[in-house]
Chain A
Amino acid sequence: MASQKKGGAMSAVGGFFGAIGGFFKDFGVAFAKGDIFVKLSVLWMGAGYARRKQYIKALIMTALEAAIIAFTLTFAMQYVPKFGTLGTVVMERVFNMKTMKSEFNDYDNSFSILLFSLFSFVVWAGAFVIWMRNVVNVYRLQQKAEAGEHINTFREDMHSYIEEKFHITLLTLPVIGITVFTFIPILLLIFVAFTNYDQQHMPPSALFTWAGFSNFLSLFGGGLTTTFSYAFVRILGWTLVWAFFATFTTYIGGILLSVLLNSAKTRVPKLWRTLFIITIAVPQFVSLLLVRNFFSNGGIVNTICANIGLTGFLRDIGLVSTSYIPFLSAPGWAHVMIILINIWIGVPYQMLIATGVLMNLPSDQVESARVDGAKPFQIFKSITMPYMLFVTGPALVTDFVKNINNFNVIYLLTEGVYTTTNQAMANSQAKEVDLLVTWLFRLTQDYYNYKMASAIGIIVFIICAVFTLFAFNRMIGNGREEDYQ
C-alpha cells in the first residue's frame, strides 16, 4: 500500500516530464513529416494556415509573430543584454550645455534590468510554446486536408473555444494572473537572493550585481558577518518550536472542545458553539491588537495580578525582576504567551473542523465499544483520534506550514511592544520572538535588506516544501480522484 502511494507522487512528477517530452516529440514529427508550408510555418507562423485558406487565423498568427519580434527588439533588447552584469552605468547628474540644466545621464537601473529580463524570458517561453504548437496544429491541418476531411472555418474555430476547447477560455486569465502575481515574483525572489541588493545598493541611485552564494553563506555562518547566522539559527529554532506547538495545541484542543460540545450531555450546543466562534469571527487585527494591550506592561491584566499579589509572588520566587509581569516584552514570557494566545484564537477554528468531521464518525463503532464497556477516554483514544487523524491528516500538514508562516499572530502581538536586549540579535534586525517571515518582512520594509530577505524566503520555501512532500508522500496518495466521480 505504502509503495503504491509513493508511486502516486512519483508518477505525478514523471507524468509532468512525460507531458513535456510528448510535446517535443509532436513537434519533431510534425516538422519532419509536414509539407513545405508546415516547414515554412517555422519562419512565418501564418504560412500553414494561409495554405489551408484559413486567412483570418493566418493574419492573427502573423500579427502575433510581429508583436513578439517588436517586443524583442524594442523592449527586451534594452534589458536582456545587461542581464549578466545588471547594469554598469551609475546614475550621475551632468550639466547639459544645450538646455543649461543639470540632467541625469542615461543610467542603468539594476532592478528594472532584472525584472524586465525575467519578464522577457517568460514571454519568450510562452512564445516558444505557441510557436511549437503552431507547427503541430498546421501539420494536423495538412493531415486533415490530405484525408479529405472538413477544415474548420474561422467561425467554427472560434466556436470550439466554447466547446471542446472551453478549458482554454476558462484558464487563460487565471493562469496569466498566477504567472504575473505568483510565478514571476517567485522567480524574482530567487534571483534577488543571489545579488547584493540592499540599502547600499538601491536603484536608481546605485547599482547592484550578482553575488553568488554569499548571502546563503552569511546565513549559515560563513562570510564576513557572523551576526546573521547567529540570529538565523535562533529564529529558525523558534519558528519550528512555534509551528509545532501552535499546530498541536490547537489541534488537540479543538478536538477535545468539539467532543465536549457534541456530547449528549451538553445542553444548547448551538449556543455554546456560537459563543466560541465569535472569537474567530472578529478580525485578527482587532482581536490580537486588543489582547496585546490587555496583556501590556501597564495593562489591565498586570493591574489585576498586582492587586491579587501574583506579581509580588512571582518576584519573590525570581520569575520576574520588574514591577510588572512582562507578558509580551521579555523572552520566555513572550514565547509562552504567544503560544497561549494562539490557543485562544486557534482552538475554535479546529473545533469547527473537528465538529464537521466527527459528525461523520461511524457511530456503530462507538456504540459497540460502549456496550463492551469502554470508558469515554478509551473511546476517544482508540476510535475518535485515529479517525480524526485519518481524515484531517492532510489539513494538519497544511496547518503546520501555515504556522511556519503565521505572520499575523506574531507581528500583531509583538511589533512595537517587544524590544530585544540581545545586541547580536539587534545587529541583524532580529528579535527573539520573530518567525522567519516576520524577520524577513522587517528586513525589507524597514531596512531594505532585500538580498538577505530573499535568501531567507528561499530557505523558508525549502523547509515548507520538503516537509510537505515528505508528509504527503507518507499520508496520502494522489491520482485517486477519479474513483469518486
Chain B
Amino acid sequence: MKKMKSNRTSSILLHNALIAVLAFIWLIPIIWLVCTSFSAYSGMNTSTFFPKEWSLIHYQKLFQPDTVQQFPRWFMNTFIIACFTTVISTAFVLMVAYATSVMRFPMRKPLMNMGVILNLFPGMLSMIAVYFVLKTFNLTNSYAGLIMVYSGSAGLGYLIAKGFFDTIPRALCEAARIDGCSEARIFSQIIIPMSRPIIVYTVISSFLGPWMDFVFAKMILNAGISENYTVAIGLYKMLDKSLINSYFTIFCCGGVLVSIPISVLFFIMQKFYVEGVTGGAVKG
C-alpha cells in the first residue's frame, strides 16, 4: 500500500516536472527579453545570457525621444488608430452578425455565400491592391488610410458574433415583436445588452489588431517619417543592421512596455477566443 502511494507521488512529481521543463523552454525568450531590457549595454549581448551590468537607463532613454526612437509618440499613434478601428469594426461586426443571425430576408443566403468566397482571398493579397487604391487617393502614409484598411472589411469577420447571436432564444425576439417592439429596439435594447461577452471579445480583438499588426502598417506607413510610425514599425526599424548595435536594448524595453497592456487584454479575451473558435464547429 505504501509502495503504491509513493509510486503515485513520484508519478505526479514527474508529471509536473515535465510541465515545468516545457514551460521553462517556452519562457526562455521572454525571460531573455525582460533581462536584456535591464542591461546597461545598448547593443545586443552575445556572450552571456544575463546582462553583465543591470541598469534602468534604457527605460529612461525610451522616454527621451531622439531622431530614431520616439516610443511615446508611436504609442499614442497606435492608440489613436486602435481606438478608431475598434469603434468602426465593432459596429460593423455586430451589425452584420445581427442581420444574418436574427433577421430573415431573401438576400441573406447569397450574401453569406459571397462572404465565404471573399474570405477565401487571403487578406495579404487584397492588401496589395488596397495599397494601389490608397495610393491613387493619396491615402498612403496617413492614419485615415490605415484605419480604413483595418476596419473597412471588418464586416467579413462576423461569424463568431453570429454564432453567439444564434444561441439567443428566438422566442425572446418573437415576444418583443408581438409587444410591438421595432427591430431596431430589439437589436439595441434586447440583443446588445444580452451579448456582453461577445461585445467584449469583439472590442478587444479589434483593439488588439492594430497593436499586433505589422504588415499593413509597414506597407502603408513605410515611407513616412519616424514620428508617424506605429509601435510595430518603429520597433522594427530600430533593428536595422546599422542601428541594432545602439538600439537593441531600447528595443527590448519598448517590447516589454508594449507587451504588458496587450497581454492583459489578451488574457481577458482568450476566454472568449476559445468559445468563438470552437463554438461554431460544435454546432456543426
Contacts and interface: CB of A to CB of B under 8 A. Distances in A.
A10 B282 CA distance: 22
Given A282-B262, A284-B214, A457-B125, A290 B23 contact: no
A265 B15 contact: yes
A36 B215 CA distance: 57
A282 B259 contact: yes
Interface in B196-222: 211-212, 214-215, 219, 222
A298 B248 CA distance: 14
B19 A261 contact: yes
Given A174-B95, A185-B129, A460-B125, A411 B212 contact: no
B16 A283 contact: no
A468 interface: yes
B118 A277 contact: no
A371 interface: no
B184 A166 contact: yes
Contact of B46 (A163, A303, A348, A355): A303
B169 to A, nearest CB: 8
B219 to A, nearest CB: 7
Interface string A314-358: 000000000000000000000000000000100010001101110
B236 A289 contact: yes
Contacts of A177: 92, 151-155
Interface string A78-118: 00000000000000000000000000000000011001000
Interface stretch (B52-60, B61-69, B79-87, B102-110): B102-110
A461 B121 contact: yes
Interface in A144-196: 159, 162-164, 166-167, 169-171, 173-175, 177-178, 180-186, 188-189, 192
A19 B106 contact: yes
Nearest to B114: A16
A360 interface: yes
Interface residues of A, number: 110
A392 B183 contact: no
B133 interface: yes
Given A12-B109, A166-B183, A457-B128, A178 B153 contact: yes
B236 A356 contact: no
Interface residues of B, number: 103
Contacts of A73: none
Given A181-B152, A182-B126, A260-B18, A284 B281 contact: no
Given A178-B118, A188-B129, A281-B266, A265 B16 contact: yes
A171 B111 contact: yes
Interface string A273-284: 011111111111
A114 to B, nearest CB: 9
A468 B122 CA distance: 12
Q: By DSSP majority rule, is chain B's interface helix, strand, loop, or mixed?
A: helix
B282 A360 contact: yes
A173 B118 CA distance: 17
Contacts of B154: 174, 177
Interface in A466-485: 468, 476-477, 480-481, 483-485
B98 to A, nearest CB: 6
A290 B255 contact: yes
A407 B29 contact: no
A3 interface: no
Given A266-B16, A286-B255, A395-B278, A407 B124 contact: yes
Interface string B146-160: 001101111110000
B44 interface: yes
A24 interface: no
A440 interface: yes
Of A278, A302, A393, A460, the most chain B CB neighbours within 10 A belong to A278
A170 B120 contact: no
Contacts of A182: 118, 121, 126, 152-153, 156
Interface string A44-76: 000000000000000000000000000000000
B259 A281 contact: yes
A178 B125 contact: no
Contacts of B227: none
Contacts of A170: 95-96, 98-99, 103, 187
Of B15, B106, B108, B248, the most chain A CB neighbours within 10 A belong to B15
Contact of B215 (A280, A294, A404, A411): A411
B30 A174 contact: no
A375 interface: no
B161 interface: no
A289 B274 contact: no
A464 interface: yes
Of B15, B114, B284, the most chain A CB neighbours within 10 A belong to B284
Nearest to A445: B219
A167 to B, nearest CB: 4
Given A294-B32, A391-B278, A178 B155 contact: yes
14 contacts: A167-B99, A175-B111, A178-B155, A181-B152, A185-B126, A260-B19, A266-B19, A283-B232, A283-B259, A290-B33, A299-B44, A416-B240, A464-B121, A481-B166
Query: Which A-B residue pairs are the 6 nearest by beta carbons?
Result: A174-B155, A356-B274, A181-B152, A185-B129, A166-B183, A162-B184
Given A16-B109, A19-B107, A481-B166, 19 more contacts: A16-B110, A166-B183, A170-B99, A174-B92, A181-B148, A181-B152, A260-B15, A265-B16, A277-B270, A281-B259, A281-B263, A283-B212, A290-B252, A352-B274, A357-B282, A393-B281, A445-B222, A465-B120, A477-B284
Interface of A: 12-13, 15-16, 19-20, 22, 111-112, 115, 159, 162-164, 166-167, 169-171, 173-175, 177-178, 180-186, 188-189, 192, 257, 260-261, 263, 265-267, 272, 274-287, 289-291, 293-294, 296, 298-300, 302-304, 344, 348, 352-353, 355-357, 360, 391-395, 401, 404-405, 407-408, 411-412, 416, 437, 440-441, 444-445, 450, 453-454, 457, 460-461, 464-465, 468, 476-477, 480-481, 483-485
